[in-house]
Structure 1
């Protein structure tokens, strides 16, 4: 059994501009309402430290492994609760160049594991959407 959250937003900016904001991890505490911290060398195969705080929820810190890091296109990681198989989440940021000075920013996560039935994704989806809106605001303002 699996569950998935998918969100997307149209941003009036180039992929380069949005990618620059998205990958300036040191600035996350200043603007990002959902992901409060990303630490470590974000490179395929590396483990990083991520702290999230969905609206109306407690903050959570985990150490996912980076699965994809393609400039101006995709960042994806896989995290686990305690160990693989209990509760796993594959998080993905995707930038799609619409070829007209806009991009479609997609943020999604696929959840799997034996504890998946206990998961309420509403707060997490709200966190994704809040982050998407703020990313749009910043990218279109600069």
Structure 2
């Protein structure tokens, strides 16, 4: 599913299909450690990331991350989450919630897989839970969020590949 800004609201089936979460993946022509460094330089997100406009993190297990997402017609909002695990330079996971966890929780995993010394597979896994999930899916929030993470991946690819070429 690829939703453009010019397209109309996706059908109910398409909106509800994202209710439990989604996975995005992109191959980046840059070494794994380099991609890791770009993703974990949270304060630089405002320089390149079209979806996560700002981020501040205490990047350690049980540390926190605060970030501002751009959900287009649903507005920009801050999320505060906690790092559950960090396995340098392979993966990290954070979990956050809105209000109380039973209303809305999200768990997001970032995985960096070295394909070879010059290519990395970057994967994001996003899992939703809570009472508000069907309502948010019905409204189309997850379609916008999913597209936001696809845009994040593409911007990351462009950033990494242009910077590696300059080295």
* TM-score, normalised relative to structure 1: 0.92
1:60 counterpart SS class = strand
TM-superposed CA distance for 1:67, in Å, is 0.7
Q: Which residue of the partner structure matches residue 154 of structure 2?
A: 133
- Which of 112, 119, 123 aligns to 1:106? It is 123
In the TM superposition, residue 10 of structure 1 has moved relative to its aligned partner by: 0.7
Is the aligned partner of 1:124 residue 2:149? no
Matched residue, 2:60: 43
RMSD: 1.4
Structure 1 CA distance, aligned partners of 2:125 and 2:72? Answer: 17
Mapped to 2, the partners of 1:55 and 1:105 lie a distance apart of: 24
Q: Report the equivalent of 2:94.
A: 77
Larger of the two Rg values belongs to structure: 2
Alpha-carbon distance in structure 2 between the residues aligned to 1:76 and 1:109: 10
Assess if the C-alpha contact under 8 Å between 1:88 and 1:112 holds in 2.
Answer: yes
Task: Count the aligned residue pairs.
Answer: 141
Structure with the bigger percentage of helix: 2
For the residue of structure 2 that corresponds to 1:48, the secondary structure is strand
1:19 aligns with 2:36: yes
Normalised TM-score (structure 2): 0.79
Q: Within 2, Cα distance between the matches of 1:61 and 1:81?
A: 10
Match of 1:67 in 2: 84
